[in-house]
Amino acid sequence: MPYQILNVESVLDYVRRRPESRTALDPEKELDAVEVGDGNLNLVFKVSQVDDSSRTVLVKQALPHVRVAEDWKLSPIRGRFEALSLQAFHALAPGSVPEPLWYDDEQYTIGMENLVGFEVIRQPMMEGRDIPELGNFVGTAMAKVHFGTSDFATDSAEKRRSLAPYTANTELCRITEDLIFTEPFHVAQERNHWVPEIDDDVARLQADQGLKREVAALKLAFMTRAEALLHGDLHTGSIMAKDRAIRIIDSEFAFYGPVGFDLGLFIGNLLMNAAAQVAHAPTESARRNYRDYVRNQVVTTMESYERVLREAFASVSSPSWQAPGFLDAFLLSVLRDTCGFAGAEMVRRTVGFAHVKDIDDIVDPALRGVVQRQVLAIARRLLHIHRHVETLDDVLTAAQEALEF
């Protein structure tokens, strides 16, 4: 059947035609669908049995354009990269993602477990709610996926074969190159936008030639350093939680790149949450407590990542990777990349096309300006120092100079 954009009616028949949906619901029963997509790119439907809403499946279809900007055309084949990476995450870090049920490369549509009762963590984190074990979960899952798809765990030929399909994810990689590494750092870019309160800060940022050199190096690393399979868009809108359960979603930006990119995006989003607490936390002590919590998640993300990687390295077979000091040096390079990528993410969420709710939802423009100024100050500092940090403490201390944790 030719590609057709689904709606709340047609998705019902679509699900009935997919035999794999039977593991999640009874297609003979009356079904109901709601569209729940709130990301920038895709349609997302929850399809459930009317007589038992716990029998349900999630259907995600890639549109031929950006969902939030219809004139921005984009091939729906990105569904393929999300499906492939979802399967890889599911295999290498079981329980880290919703269970994949099918992928339909004609309709660019994925069927997967509907995470009933889960919520995207960005909003609860804005409200100052703890997500138990968040850092440990993300650090552990990403270390498993990164290690399992890296040259440390796979034979050279197998790694190249696994990487090959993702080289076609050109459009989404290009979006990242433009939106994260290029446009925010340059004047007269149509898609950039910011509030007038930070005009001077943005002018200083875009005139900082040293900063541009650092960002250019990070962009080149993103474009050329195929260390492992990345999620590619690991912000707090790509993670869902329910009580103590956590899942990573929305990996359509997946490709093989530098592993610090995933960690940096995640940590950059944690730092932006911490900065925004001045507006969201009801009292000063609530703000301090939540910032401590967030700081702790940054620490546990990196500690868990390192622990899992060190454990996995015990089984590497090539003597190259067993060279004394090699793993320490690799982990230091991951930390430095993480620091730089976090800075780039924070800049683009303040100045570039796609912002974050944590900051955009601050109603008082003066206060929003204060937060954005802090975010830019932290980001510039992280970008300037990233190649020289020795420990995570160096990163946190630098962030702390602009933001009291």
The site for ligand SR1 (CB under 6 A) is made up of: 39-41, 66, 175-176, 179, 233, 353-354
* Closer to Mg ion by Cβ: residue 66 or 312: 66
In angstroms, give the least distance from the CB of 233 to ligand SR1. Answer: 5
What does the block give as tokens for 377?
Answer: 């100050």
* Residue 82 is a binding residue for Mg ion (CB under 5 A): no
| Interface map 182-221 toward Mg ion (x if CB under 5 A) | ----------------------------------------
Please give the DSSP secondary-structure letter assigned to residue 26.
-
User: Among ligand SR1, Mg ion, none, what binds residue 223 when CB lies within 5 to 8 Å by partner kind?
Assistant: none
User: Among Mg ion, ligand SR1, none, what binds residue 136 when CB lies within 5 to 8 Å by partner kind?
Assistant: none
DSSP string, 250-279: --TT-EEE-THHHHHHHHHHHHHHHHHHHH
User: Among ligand SR1, Mg ion, none, what binds residue 227 when CB lies within 5 to 8 Å by partner kind?
Assistant: none
CA 319 to chain centre: 33
User: Among ligand SR1, Mg ion, none, what binds residue 179 when CB lies within 5 to 8 Å by partner kind?
Assistant: ligand SR1
CB neighbour list of residue 343: distance below 8 Å, 6 or more residues apart: 264, 268, 378, 379, 380, 381, 382, 383, 386
* Closer to ligand SR1 by Cβ: residue 341 or 353: 353
User: Could you give the CA distance from residue 233 to residue 265 in angstroms, rounded to a whole number?
Assistant: 7
User: Could you give the CA distance from residue 405 to residue 395 in angstroms, rounded to a whole number?
Assistant: 13
* Closer to ligand SR1 by Cβ: residue 239 or 392: 239
Sign of the alpha-carbon dihedral angle for 166, 15, 115, 61: positive
Of the candidates 130, 397, 132, which has an alpha carbon nearest to the alpha carbon of residue 281?
A: 130
In angstroms, give the least distance from the CB of 41 to ligand SR1. Answer: 6
* Residue 39 is a binding residue for Mg ion (CB under 5 A): yes
DSSP string, 287-345: HHHHHHHHHHHHHHHHHHHHHHHHHHHTT---TTTTSTTHHHHHHHHHHHHHHHHHHHH
In angstroms, give the least distance from the CB of 68 to ligand SR1. Answer: 7
Chain position whose Cβ is nearest to Mg ion? 250
Chain position whose Cβ is nearest to ligand SR1? 40
Number of residues that bind Mg ion (CB under 5 A): 3
* Closer to ligand SR1 by Cβ: residue 33 or 265: 265
* Residue 124 is a binding residue for Mg ion (CB under 5 A): no
| Token pair 């230091």 in the structure block, residue | 332
Q: Which position among 82, 201, 250, 345 is part of the footprint of Mg ion (CB under 5 A)?
A: 250
* Closer to ligand SR1 by Cβ: residue 153 or 344: 344
User: Could you give the CA distance from residue 263 to residue 85 in angstroms, rounded to a whole number?
Assistant: 17
* Closer to ligand SR1 by Cβ: residue 65 or 387: 65
| Token pair 């940590």 in the structure block, residue | 267
Q: Which residues bind Mg ion (CB under 5 A)?
A: 39, 233, 250
